[in-house]
Amino acid sequence: MTPEQLKLVLETALLCADEPMTMNDLRRLFLEELSAGELSVALSQIQEDWSDKGMELLELATGWRFQSRLNMREYLDRLTPEKPPKYSRAVMETLAIIAYRQPVTRGEIEEIRGVAVSSNVVKQLEDRGWIEVVGHKETVGRPGLFATTRQFLNDLSLTTLQELPMLDDASAQAESVAQRVMEFEGAPDVTDVADTSSDQVSTSTAAIDALNNNEKTND
């Protein structure tokens, strides 16, 4: 098989795939044995081929996928005009703490934020598939330990958590995660969302002052 044929097969499979494809998935496309190096070279070449197009090939936590570029979002949104979900400060702060401090218990999240974490906030993140309980802390009551999921990495176009910027300040961490969520959802400024949970009662010492309403990106 020539390099061009290899690229053609990979490109076609990735464009038709409903989910990100792993290297093992891609290897199964071919009868002959292909090394990870050969596939990586072909994937890099495909990325270059699509560098000036409206789609781009990305490597995510669970594999490779094509997705639309940032500057195409405003046009694609016209096909699906429904509004994206909005997230409160409490949701963004809780998600940021889990992303940066994981694994972390609910009590530890509350200690950092300075206010109670409502069950609604946790359920919203679990229903979205962004957090899950990965174990229990060996202490009184054995509270659950929360961590982010591979779906969280995929949705925010991350391969690993190490791609999040290294920030010491809790408000900067929340802003960083919130910006990525807004980019993924194409969402308006999440600071405009009223928090109807008990988290609204107090402002946390770790609370963000504002979340940027920057340019949208795409799913």
Q: Tell me whether residue 20 is in a domain.
A: yes
Q: Residue 70 has what pLDDT?
A: 82
The CATH number assigned to the domain holding 197 equals: 1.10.10.10
Q: Tell me whether residue 84 is in a domain.
A: no
Q: Tell me whether residue 213 is in a domain.
A: no
Cα four-point dihedral sign 165, 171, 177, 178? negative
Q: Tell me whether residue 184 is in a domain.
A: yes
64 & 97 share domain: no
Q: Is the pLDDT of residue 16 over 90?
A: yes
Q: Residue 187 has what pLDDT?
A: 53
Q: Tell me whether residue 81 is in a domain.
A: no
- The string of pLDDT tens digits covering residues 45-95 is 999 999 999 999 999 989 999 999 888 988 888 887 766 667 888 998 999
Cβ–Cβ under 8 Å, residues 90 and 118: yes
Q: What is the residue type of 149?
A: T
| Calpha distance 28→57 (Å, rounded) | 19
Q: Tell me whether residue 212 is in a domain.
A: no
Rounded to 5°, the CA angle 134-118-202 comes to 125
110 & 175 share domain: yes
- Global pTM value: 0.64
51 & 153 share domain: no
Q: What three-state secondary structure class fits 55? A: strand
56 & 155 share domain: no
Non-local (6+) Cβ contacts of 153 within 8 A are: 60, 61, 62, 159, 160, 161
Q: Residue 206 has what pLDDT?
A: 33
Domain boundaries, position 17: 3-68
Q: Tell me whether residue 34 is in a domain.
A: yes
48 & 114 share domain: no
State CA 99 to chain mean position distance: 10
59 & 97 share domain: no
Whether omega before 103 lies within 30 degrees of 0, making that bond cis, reads yes
Q: Residue 127 has what pLDDT?
A: 92
Q: What is the residue type of 21?
A: M
196 & 95 share domain: yes
19 & 60 share domain: yes
| Calpha distance 150→100 (Å, rounded) | 15
Q: Residue 193 has what pLDDT?
A: 37
Q: Determine the average pLDDT of the residues in 98-103.
A: 93
In the chain, how many domains are there?
A: 2
Cβ–Cβ under 8 Å, residues 189 and 213: yes
- 170-185 vs 89-101: helix axis angle to the nearest 10? 110
Cβ–Cβ under 8 Å, residues 190 and 181: yes
Q: Residue 145 has what pLDDT?
A: 96
102 & 131 share domain: yes
Q: Determine the average pLDDT of the residues in 25-50.
A: 93
93 & 63 share domain: no
16 & 110 share domain: no
Q: Tell me whether residue 207 is in a domain.
A: no
64 & 102 share domain: no
Q: Determine the average pLDDT of the residues in 93-118.
A: 92
